[in-house]
Chains A and B, each alone.
Chain A
Amino acid sequence: MPDRRLHLVVDEDLGPALWVAEQTGPRRSRALEDLTALREDAPPPLAEALADAPDRLRHRVRVPGRDGDRRMPALPLSGTGLTGLVGAATALLEARFDQELPDRLAQLLAEETAARLDEQLIAMPNLLAACVLDLRAQELLAARHLRVRAAERYGRPILQWRAPEPEAPALLHALVDGHARPAFAEHLRRAAPPAADPLGVLWALADDGELRADLPTQRRLTTAFDGFVDSGRPGVKLGPGDSELVVRLFQPPVGTAWPLQTCLREDDGTVHPVADLRAVGDLTAAGAAEASAAVLRLAPTVRGAAVDDTGVDWLLTTQEASAFLTLDTPALEQAGVTVLLPRDWTAQRTTLRPQEVEEDPGERKGSGVGLGAMASFRWRVAVGDTELTEEEMERIREAQAELVQLRGQWVRLDPTTLRAAERFLDAFSRRTRDRRLAGREDGEAPAASAARAPRAPERPAAPELPPPAPVPAEVEGRAPWIEMFSMILSPDMADVDFGLAALHSGGSRGLARLMPGAEGPYPYPQPETLAATLRPYQLDGLNWLWALDEQSLGGILADDMGLGKTMQVLALLCREREGIPLERLADAPVTGRREVPPAPVGPTLLVCPMSVVGAWQREAERFAPCLSVHVHHGGDRVRDESFVAGAADLDLVITTYSLLARDLPVLQAVPWHRLVLDEAQHVKTPGTQVTRAARALQAPHRLALTGTPVENRLGDLHSLMEAVNPGLLGGAASFQERIATPIEEEGHGGAISRLRLVTSPFILRRVKTDRSIIADLPEKIELHRVVNLTPEQAGLYEAIVDELMAQIDGAEQARRRTLVVSAITRLKQVCNHPAHYLGDGSPLVREGRHRSGKLELVDDLLASAFERGEKVLLFTQFTTFGHLLVPYWAERFAEHGLGSVPFLHGGVSKRDRDRMVEEFQQQRDRPGMMLLSLRAGGTGLTLTAANHVVHLDRWWNPAVENQATDRAFRIGQRRDVTVNTLLSAGTVEEKIDTVLSDKQALADLTVGHGEDWLAQLDDDRLLDLLSLDEEEDR
């Protein structure tokens, strides 16, 4: 019998096919045209595999030969036909080699040698390779590591099972398909038949069932199956769509090439370069290209950049890296792409540091005083904490890039502040130069005063201006203070960041001494005629007042209440009258210190609220007996010309704000030496009669006293400053726009630093909590006590909220505001007490049961304080509520010997007020209480006998509440003070408290604007704030 060699080939058109060469003689053979003989002679497994095959081989496969391709008759194989044949061959080989089969096969394949299956049949190497692939195919099936692809065969859509690797040999794919189909058919027989399979997917997978899918659907099928199979491997991402795109910029490892990497962030948060992902096969090249392409699409700078050899990352020049940061980063981030910069890499702000400020000696001709005085300024540019050298500044300018290397570190410059600083220095040098050219400068050589631009050659003054010198790192020049300040506050300089802490050397004279970082006022001793010993900080305050006074500058003394502002003002009045004799100056003569001879000084007009007139009068009598004091108050006050004549002989005239407006004509007729506005928040509202009067009153020296200079808004600061240093901060509208709004709304650091630079010489504020100021003040303990509403309160509360929400639905803004504010007032009344809200005169306690949770708690609190012989101050903003409480408490606590309960409110006359305060302050260690309306009790009272403070309801303005609290917590207090702020649980009181406590950090600068902001809220947030949160235990 002739040898028959079995070839298994994969034909381009036909797919896998078997052809058989039969030996017809030595070195001669022919291809079988008919399988009948083979089938008869073949061993059983093979015969079985070929059982269904047709006898005649009607197909032809292309077989490369020595003389070109030959076309051999062949049996196309697919499905079980293929797996059966390869399986039969494997079985025969296994019978022959047994255990050694894998090794022998590997060896045969390596040597490309055929193997005999029996005496007659020889398996050619391509069939042996198929046997190996077949084993692999079976493994893949067992592991269910199978892909499915929609394809077309002869124009008919089909589904094919495939090996997972697309580039696998076609025969492997065919073998996988051959094995998977019957396995899936078997699975299908066991599964419950689906209600519908519109595409015919299942039978297309199991058998040669028709796939009802047009081309796009076929693509979608393939994609869906790919996604399905890939989901079997965690972390595999086919495209960047599944992961978050990340772009990472690195600092140049060497030189100036900035690597920019395309990366993907996986679900677990780790970031991997796509080049690495592609290298390990977790990302297809297309996926990597797509990720990189997304960067190209969003980042125009990168398009022109050099690509590194990965093809998906780039190497940027420093210019490109700068442009990438400025121009591309925002677009990338907006598109959801994360841009990772080198660690700790935030844009460094450029700050301008006043290096040196010195006021010209006052003797110089043409030099003004106060704000008009000439001073020399030296500014230096710093990036972050690094002060730049000329060379570095030069480099930054030349580079025109955001990225510069400073002291070996790459630094990203914040372009806004850099440009602003350049602009400022440019404007500054131009102005100081203009002054020189205009010849307004006299008596000094130009070279010494001109802007010093070290790199720019000095030129003699020419008809045309010299070209703008490059902005150096340090600029020096002279200008009057007021011009300097207006430059600092001008809108052009909005982005300049002034580094105040870094003032190296402040001046030794004039206003320069008061600038931040400067020496401060001369430390003169306290006046001898003052009948008290000033505390050290009070002496500092006096010397500060004196320094301003000498230069006819106004100031705002904003010490916390209780630190003795009155005393400092009295001391000032004493000093200006007694002068500073030479022998009291320190030993070493210091520039600018001089003897001040005693001199007659004109009268000081002090304006204060009515409630503190008495206090001023008493303190002046007691501590400054040398001063002749007159109170301009009461119906019998002198209002004619004799007042003007008499005032000249007085030292201090005390009057009230209401009289300031009313008696302005007569007050204006007096040549005042000084105007002092105590509790100066009374002149904070521009346009009111009082404010207008205060500004209209002429006096060369002006002083404002307040415990809270920025009680509500920075606008108030402007208003106060306008009363004492008119024009310093510019117009109200422009100040609001350039300074106040940026600070209040954006917390703009630049605006804060500019404002501080300009105002710091003129404001002195010490706070009580600063232990370096006062070491002997006891602790203030603040407690927020949350009380529950009674069911009666809760019912009323909810009814008000419901009513409000119904009313504001669709209401126009103005009406809405009125509705909201009035509803909040009613809600607060309910929280206080139902009887307060209802106003029906019903008893506060009904049949021994409390109707208000608050009142119940306060009663307990009062009782326990009285037990210990302590005194309590209670504040409410509702006078009506106070009137309800007074008789109730008088009766309830009669046993403690209280007598009547004092109630200090706006309607109490000055005489009664003084009497109440006096009585309260006496007999310190006995029980006592005083009820105050928040408005009336806000200012000027000393009630240190109390060591408990209760805020019955909320004003929602920490400044006002603190001021009330400070009635008790001020100098003279010997015990710790407990401040109880009452909040009704779940109500607007508690919720707004939460909102406010978040803002507390800002309270030094800005404070909530009363209740108006609530009306601005949208309905949902409003409802959220106002509605009553039910508590489980109620």
Chain B
Amino acid sequence: MSISLRSRRGPIGTAWQAVALREAAERLLGPGRAGRGRTDARAGRVQWLEVEAGAARAAVQDPGGELHQARFELPAFRAGDREAFLRIARAHPELPAVLAAGRYPEQIEAELAPSMVSLLPRDAAELSHDCSCLDWPGPCRHVSALVYVLVEAVDEHPQHLLTLRGLALEDLVAPAEGAGEEDPAQDRAPATDDPRESGHEEEPPARAPYDPRRTDPALLAEVVGEEVAGIIAGFYHRG
């Protein structure tokens, strides 16, 4: 299982946010390593990529077959930056959908600029890296390969930038007031006075109570195997 890049030649990543990320990262990598990383990435040496808050991680295979755990860090927002970002993001209710559709509007960055906040690396100094290989202090070719796979991922899925910054799409939606949990009796219909098609609108579904006996082990079996899934489901069904 390895990741193959869509880009076969030329610069990797075409969307503006991917270009911005790549340019920032290339300043960190330097031209030589960047070239080697691009070659490795295109050769499918990156086995997997995981993006989490503050870091992207990947397993990268050496030509010799050895696997290295590479890591590329873009720190998650600190509280202040997070608030500044959310304030602007929440003023754009369409942002989650637009991000999910693969676009990160430059306008958001423009609005963020006065607060000195950006989803993208503001400079190379914001970036750091690590790898399990011996090429210390790096950045090594593994990190470099990871970077290009990440750039292409961000090209298509800009919400990876959110993840790196410690945010989820959820966070971009202002919490609804009174949306408590676990209370099926509570009337959850939003108090919107919807003028369209009144009477035609179906009632929003009341949230059904959780019942552990309904849990479906088939959903686990794919990953853990049927037998193990059965044992786990046995635990839940006892509830």
A197 interface residue (CB < 8 Å to B)? yes
* Binary flags per residue of A269-286, CB closer than 8 Å to B gives 1, else 0: 011110111111110111
B216 contact from A146, A184, A202, A228, Cβ within 8 A: A228
B231 interface residue (CB < 8 Å to A)? yes
B170 contact from A216, A271, A285, Cβ within 8 A: A285
In the bound assembly, the distance between CA atoms of A262 and B96 in angstroms comes to 13
Q: A143-B212, A236-B208, A311-B95 are in contact. Are A286 and B169 (CB under 8 A)?
A: yes
B231 contact from A191, A215, A236, A281, Cβ within 8 A: A191
* Binary flags per residue of A12-36, CB closer than 8 Å to B gives 1, else 0: 0000000000000000000000000
In the bound assembly, the distance between CA atoms of A235 and B212 in angstroms comes to 14
| Pairwise interchain contact B188-A144, C-beta atoms closer than 8 A | no
B116 interface residue (CB < 8 Å to A)? no
Which of B101, B195, B214, B227: most chain A Cβ within 10 A? Answer: B101
The interface stretch among B11-19, B37-45, B120-128, B199-207 is: B199-207
In the bound assembly, the distance between CA atoms of A270 and B204 in angstroms comes to 10
Residues on the A chain within 8 Å of B228, using CB: 194, 197, 199, 201-202
A234 interface residue (CB < 8 Å to B)? yes
State the Cβ distance, B195 to closest chain A Cβ, in Å. Answer: 4
| Pairwise interchain contact B234-A191, C-beta atoms closer than 8 A | yes
State the Cβ distance, A238 to closest chain B Cβ, in Å. Answer: 11
In the bound assembly, the distance between CA atoms of A225 and B229 in angstroms comes to 10
Residues on the A chain within 8 Å of B9, using CB: none
Residues on the A chain within 8 Å of B234, using CB: 187, 191
A271 contact from B59, B168, B171, B202, Cβ within 8 A: B202
Residues on the A chain within 8 Å of B172, using CB: 285, 289
| Pairwise interchain contact B169-A311, C-beta atoms closer than 8 A | no
- Number of B interface residues, CB 8 Å? 66
A296 interface residue (CB < 8 Å to B)? yes
In the bound assembly, the distance between CA atoms of A195 and B195 in angstroms comes to 60
State the Cβ distance, A292 to closest chain B Cβ, in Å. Answer: 3
| Pairwise interchain contact B215-A289, C-beta atoms closer than 8 A | no
| Pairwise interchain contact B188-A279, C-beta atoms closer than 8 A | yes
| Pairwise interchain contact A214-B48, C-beta atoms closer than 8 A | yes
B99 interface residue (CB < 8 Å to A)? yes
Residues on the A chain within 8 Å of B206, using CB: 280
| Pairwise interchain contact A233-B210, C-beta atoms closer than 8 A | yes
B225 interface residue (CB < 8 Å to A)? yes
Q: A202-B228, A266-B205, A296-B97 are in contact. Are A215 and B216 (CB under 8 A)?
A: no
| Pairwise interchain contact A293-B100, C-beta atoms closer than 8 A | yes
| Pairwise interchain contact B216-A194, C-beta atoms closer than 8 A | no
* Binary flags per residue of A150-168, CB closer than 8 Å to B gives 1, else 0: 0000000000000011000
State the Cβ distance, A324 to closest chain B Cβ, in Å. Answer: 16
CB under 8 Å from chain B, chain A span 263-316: 266, 270-273, 275-282, 284-286, 288-290, 292-297, 303, 307-312
A231 interface residue (CB < 8 Å to B)? yes
| Pairwise interchain contact B48-A293, C-beta atoms closer than 8 A | no
| Pairwise interchain contact B224-A231, C-beta atoms closer than 8 A | no
State the Cβ distance, A27 to closest chain B Cβ, in Å. Answer: 32
Q: A285-B169, A289-B169 are in contact. Are A145 and B96 (CB under 8 A)?
A: no
Which of B176, B212, B224: most chain A Cβ within 10 A? Answer: B224
Query: How many pairs of A and B residues are in contact by the CB < 8 Å rule?
Result: 212
In the bound assembly, the distance between CA atoms of A231 and B217 in angstroms comes to 9
B106 interface residue (CB < 8 Å to A)? no
In the bound assembly, the distance between CA atoms of A887 and B207 in angstroms comes to 83
| Pairwise interchain contact A215-B48, C-beta atoms closer than 8 A | yes
State the Cβ distance, B106 to closest chain A Cβ, in Å. Answer: 15
Residues on the B chain within 8 Å of A144, using CB: 212, 235-239
Q: A215-B57, A280-B188, A288-B96 are in contact. Are A187 and B197 (CB under 8 A)?
A: no
B93 interface residue (CB < 8 Å to A)? yes
In the bound assembly, the distance between CA atoms of A83 and B102 in angstroms comes to 45
| Pairwise interchain contact A253-B196, C-beta atoms closer than 8 A | yes
B224 contact from A216, A224, A271, Cβ within 8 A: A224
| Pairwise interchain contact B59-A214, C-beta atoms closer than 8 A | yes
Residues on the B chain within 8 Å of A266, using CB: 205
Q: A228-B220, A311-B95 are in contact. Are A279 and B239 (CB under 8 A)?
A: no
Residues on the B chain within 8 Å of A165, using CB: 181
In the bound assembly, the distance between CA atoms of A297 and B102 in angstroms comes to 8
B209 interface residue (CB < 8 Å to A)? yes
Residues on the B chain within 8 Å of A289, using CB: 96-97, 99-100, 169, 172
In the bound assembly, the distance between CA atoms of A296 and B98 in angstroms comes to 7
* Binary flags per residue of B97-120, CB closer than 8 Å to A gives 1, else 0: 111111100000000000000000
Residues on the B chain within 8 Å of A284, using CB: 169-170
State the Cβ distance, A197 to closest chain B Cβ, in Å. Answer: 5
State the Cβ distance, A218 to closest chain B Cβ, in Å. Answer: 8
Residues on the A chain within 8 Å of B207, using CB: 233, 235-236, 280-282
In the bound assembly, the distance between CA atoms of A228 and B215 in angstroms comes to 6
In the bound assembly, the distance between CA atoms of A165 and B180 in angstroms comes to 11
A104 interface residue (CB < 8 Å to B)? no
| Pairwise interchain contact B197-A250, C-beta atoms closer than 8 A | yes
| Pairwise interchain contact B215-A311, C-beta atoms closer than 8 A | no
In the bound assembly, the distance between CA atoms of A310 and B126 in angstroms comes to 34
Which of B98, B172, B196: most chain A Cβ within 10 A? Answer: B196
Q: A201-B224, A280-B204 are in contact. Are A227 and B219 (CB under 8 A)?
A: yes
State the Cβ distance, A870 to closest chain B Cβ, in Å. Answer: 62
| Pairwise interchain contact B209-A233, C-beta atoms closer than 8 A | yes
CB under 8 Å from chain A, chain B span 48-93: 48, 50, 57, 59, 92-93
State the Cβ distance, B164 to closest chain A Cβ, in Å. Answer: 15
In the bound assembly, the distance between CA atoms of A234 and B213 in angstroms comes to 11
B97 contact from A196, A251, A312, A343, Cβ within 8 A: A312
Q: Nearest A residue to B188 by beta-carbon distance?
A: A280
State the Cβ distance, B237 to closest chain A Cβ, in Å. Answer: 8
* Binary flags per residue of A203-233, CB closer than 8 Å to B gives 1, else 0: 0010000000011110111001101110111
State the Cβ distance, B177 to closest chain A Cβ, in Å. Answer: 10
State the Cβ distance, A11 to closest chain B Cβ, in Å. Answer: 17
Q: Nearest A residue to B96 by beta-carbon distance?
A: A289
Q: Nearest B residue to A219 by beta-carbon distance?
A: B50
Q: A205-B232, A232-B212 are in contact. Are A311 and B97 (CB under 8 A)?
A: yes
Q: A232-B214, A307-B94 are in contact. Are A293 and B101 (CB under 8 A)?
A: yes
Q: A215-B48, A286-B169 are in contact. Are A199 and B212 (CB under 8 A)?
A: no
| Pairwise interchain contact A188-B231, C-beta atoms closer than 8 A | yes
A145 contact from B92, B204, B210, Cβ within 8 A: B210
State the Cβ distance, A219 to closest chain B Cβ, in Å. Answer: 7
Q: Nearest B residue to A186 by beta-carbon distance?
A: B235
In the bound assembly, the distance between CA atoms of A286 and B172 in angstroms comes to 9
B223 interface residue (CB < 8 Å to A)? yes
Which of B97, B101, B202, B204: most chain A Cβ within 10 A? Answer: B97
State the Cβ distance, B50 to closest chain A Cβ, in Å. Answer: 5
In the bound assembly, the distance between CA atoms of A220 and B225 in angstroms comes to 13
Residues on the A chain within 8 Å of B220, using CB: 224-225, 227-228
State the Cβ distance, A732 to closest chain B Cβ, in Å. Answer: 53
In the bound assembly, the distance between CA atoms of A277 and B202 in angstroms comes to 12
In the bound assembly, the distance between CA atoms of A101 and B95 in angstroms comes to 47
In the bound assembly, the distance between CA atoms of A825 and B210 in angstroms comes to 67
Q: Nearest B residue to A142 by beta-carbon distance?
A: B239
In the bound assembly, the distance between CA atoms of A58 and B218 in angstroms comes to 45
| Pairwise interchain contact B214-A293, C-beta atoms closer than 8 A | no
Q: A281-B181, A284-B170, A285-B173 are in contact. Are A231 and B219 (CB under 8 A)?
A: yes
State the Cβ distance, A386 to closest chain B Cβ, in Å. Answer: 23
State the Cβ distance, A567 to closest chain B Cβ, in Å. Answer: 61
Extra contacts besides A144-B237, A224-B222, A235-B207 (4): CB < 8 Å = A144-B236, A144-B239, A232-B210, A286-B168
Closest 8 CB pairs of A and B: A144-B239, A311-B93, A293-B100, A289-B96, A292-B97, A307-B94, A293-B101, A144-B212
Q: List 19 A-B contacts (CB under 8 A).
A: A145-B239, A164-B181, A187-B231, A188-B231, A197-B225, A199-B224, A199-B228, A224-B224, A228-B215, A228-B220, A233-B214, A253-B196, A271-B202, A278-B173, A280-B189, A281-B188, A288-B96, A289-B99, A293-B97
